[in-house]
Amino acid sequence: MDSSQLLGITTFTYLFSTLLYVAIFVFKAPRLGTPATLFTFLAWVIQTAGLILRWKESYNLGFGHAPLTNMYESVVFFAWVIIILYLAIEWKFKTKVIGAFAVPFAFLAMAYASFSTDISKTINPLVPALQSNWLIAHVVTCFVGYAAFAVAAALGIMYLMKSREAGRQTGESSSLLSSLPPLKTIDDITHKTMVFGFIWLSGGIITGAIWANSAWGTYWSWDPKETWSLITWFLYAITLHAKYTRGWSGTKIAFLSIFGFVAVLFTYYGVNFLLAGLHSYGSS
């Protein structure tokens, strides 16, 4: 069995986990909570094995690099981090229904990695710009931040659904949404997740600048990826600043968490495919 097969199994296991979490939310079936967590953790373990095996395959081919060097590998790692962050939140706050909103992000990422014809799953030798010890530090810090923002966006969607129904006291939809955590709790987790992601994204930009200096001789060249990373960083910086100084919370923060993640997706995906630059290798 090779790494692609293990990661393919991961995709379908995340799909099953997603269905279990959605069933918990829609049918108010808390008895499915433990199976949902176990299947999600099992999928994460399989994915971890797949990543390790892909790393080993790289060495067997004589390239010997971490599985973080192209679009396929970064999407897989993105899903891997989403799940570990989600499981940490589930363990910390004892709320499994969040999985109905967060785990689908990991499943969709894995489905894109597994089935998209736009990206290659081939393990290739590194281009000179990627032959740096800063590669792992930069990619890991950025994608931990991206994954945290994905979870924050999922929480933002939860908050908006719950707040929209808050004024409705009766009806099937109100009963359905009553299984979601209180608005204050969702807002608190969203804020903490955004702060966590912001710290890691800041680290990603700093390590990227150091890496750029070693690869291209300059810390900053206003490459489209760098520019959009900075735009994304400012979006979250302004959001957190507004929360601390203006007391923004609730609906405003929920909308900004979703808007911020749209910026993350463009920085991550859109720039690679739509804007040519020094990071063009990231679309392969």
pLDDT (tens digit, 9 = 90+) per residue, 91-117?
999 999 999 999 999 999 999 999 998
Find the angle CA(211)-CA(213)-CA(216) to the nearest 5 degrees: 100
Q: Say if residue 267's pLDDT is above 70.
A: yes
What does R_g of the chain's alpha carbons equal in angstroms? 19
User: Quick one: pLDDT at residue 221?
Assistant: 87
What is the tens place of the pLDDT at every residue in 132-153? 888 899 999 999 999 999 999 9
User: Quick one: pLDDT at residue 176?
Assistant: 75
User: In terms of pLDDT, which residue wins out, 131 or 17?
Assistant: 17
User: In terms of pLDDT, which residue wins out, 165 or 264?
Assistant: 264
Give the pair of three-digit tokens for residue 114. 């597994």
SS3 readout for the chain: CCHHHHHHHHHHHHHHHHHHHHHHHHCCCHHHHHHHHHHHHHHHHHHHHHHHHHHHHHHHCCCCCCCCCCHHHHHHHHHHHHHHHHHHHHHHHCCCCCHHHHHHHHHHHHHHHHHCCCCCCCCCCCCHHHCCCHHHHHHHHHHHHHHHHHHHHHHHHHHHHHHHHCCCCCCHHHHHHCCCCCHHHHHHHHHHHHHHHHHHHHHHHHHHHHHHHHHHCCCCCCCHHHHHHHHHHHHHHHHHHHHHHHCCCCHHHHHHHHHHHHHHHHHHHHHHHHCCCCCHHHHC
pLDDT category, 276, cuts 50, 70, 90?
low
Nearest C-alpha neighbor of 207 from the set 127, 136, 280, 149: 136
Query: Which range is least confidently modeled, 2-6, 36-40, 102-106, 164-168?
Result: 164-168
Please tell me the pTM assigned to this model.
0.93
Give the pair of three-digit tokens for residue 163. 């707040």
pLDDT category, 156, cuts 50, 70, 90?
very high
User: Quick one: pLDDT at residue 129?
Assistant: 75
Give the pair of three-digit tokens for residue 154. 């999922």
Give the pair of three-digit tokens for residue 71. 């679009």
pLDDT category, 244, cuts 50, 70, 90?
very high
Query: Which range is least confidently modeled, 70-79, 163-172, 174-183?
Result: 163-172
User: Quick one: pLDDT at residue 112?
Assistant: 95
User: Quick one: pLDDT at residue 52?
Assistant: 96
What is the tens place of the pLDDT at every residue in 30-62? 899 999 999 999 999 999 999 999 999 999 999
* pLDDT above 90 coverage of the chain, percent: 70
Q: Say if residue 242's pLDDT is above 60.
A: yes
User: In terms of pLDDT, which residue wins out, 282 or 37?
Assistant: 37
User: Quick one: pLDDT at residue 271?
Assistant: 85
User: Quick one: pLDDT at residue 145?
Assistant: 97
User: Quick one: pLDDT at residue 215?
Assistant: 84
Give the number of other CB atoms < 10 A from CB of residue 274: 10
Give the pair of three-digit tokens for residue 1. 């069995």
pLDDT category, 281, cuts 50, 70, 90?
low
Q: Say if residue 162's pLDDT is above 80.
A: yes
Q: With contact defined as beta carbons under 8 Å apart, do 191 and 184 qualify?
A: no
Give the separation between CA 9 and CA 21, rounded to whole angstroms: 18
Give the separation between CA 45 and CA 133, rounded to whole angstroms: 26
Give the separation between CA 89 and CA 283, rounded to whole angstroms: 31
